[in-house]
A and B are shown apart, each in its own frame.
Chain A
């Protein structure tokens, strides 16, 4: 089945230790998104790629970076995780721009110790 896959599902890192979360998709969608979701809150968009074009939200901290080496894969790098970065990180894809629904992966729960 076509899907959005996130690895790992659970990640524990130490304060200040860089961590990378990965997302892959078999849907061949043009757009990939990274969201941060804290407990019982709505997802907050960090950035998205339209094909190779990177779009950063204005309030996304510099601590968060992303890479999309090809259509199928997208990575979220957190350079120096703080306790406040502990959250669920959701990857999503959409076929094209703006009006299309997004398909979500299961998420990676990040714990910072």
Chain B
């Protein structure tokens, strides 16, 4: 089975602080991609960051970075210097071989001013 698990339904962070969202996944494949998507309230889902499994280096996009632990099948998202605009639902996603993007249940992030 290829599943994605996000164990934190809700998270909260103070503005300018750092927060980490957790994701674990299950796969028998050795070469794959992983994604984090952001869905702000009433706005469209956008890609935050992408990780290729064969790359050992963790992906980074400005204030967003991942901690990819392939052996542990863990893919967490770290948001540094949190901003009010970071408030959203965050989905971890695994694209299967047959075009089926498997999403986790999502983590709702609240940013407190």
A residues whose Cβ falls under 8 Å from a Cβ of B? 31, 33, 40-43, 45, 48, 50, 55, 57, 90, 92, 94, 97-107
Q: Which of B70-95 contact A (CB under 8 A)?
A: 89, 91, 95
Tell yes or no: B16 within 8 A of A by CB.
no
B residues whose Cβ falls under 8 Å from a Cβ of A? 32-33, 35, 37, 43-47, 50, 89, 91, 95-101, 103-106, 108
Q: How many A-B residue pairs have CB under 8 A?
A: 55
Given A41-B106, A50-B99, A98-B99, check contact A106 B43 (CB 8 Å): yes
Within 8 Å by CB of A40, from B33, B43, B50, B106, lies B106
Given A42-B91, A106-B44, check contact A101 B106 (CB 8 Å): no
**What secondary structure prevails in chain A residues at the interface with B?**
loop
A24 to B32, CA, bound (A): 28
Q: Say yes or no: B104 contacts A42, CB within 8 Å.
A: yes
Complex interface: chain A residues within 8 A of B103 (CB): 42-43
Within 8 Å by CB of A45, from B37, B50, B100, B105, lies B100
Q: Say yes or no: B32 contacts A40, CB within 8 Å.
A: no
Name 16 interchain pairs, CB-CB below 8 A, sorted by A. Answer: A33-B99, A40-B108, A41-B105, A43-B103, A45-B101, A55-B99, A99-B32, A100-B95, A101-B33, A101-B35, A101-B47, A101-B50, A102-B95, A102-B101, A104-B45, A106-B44
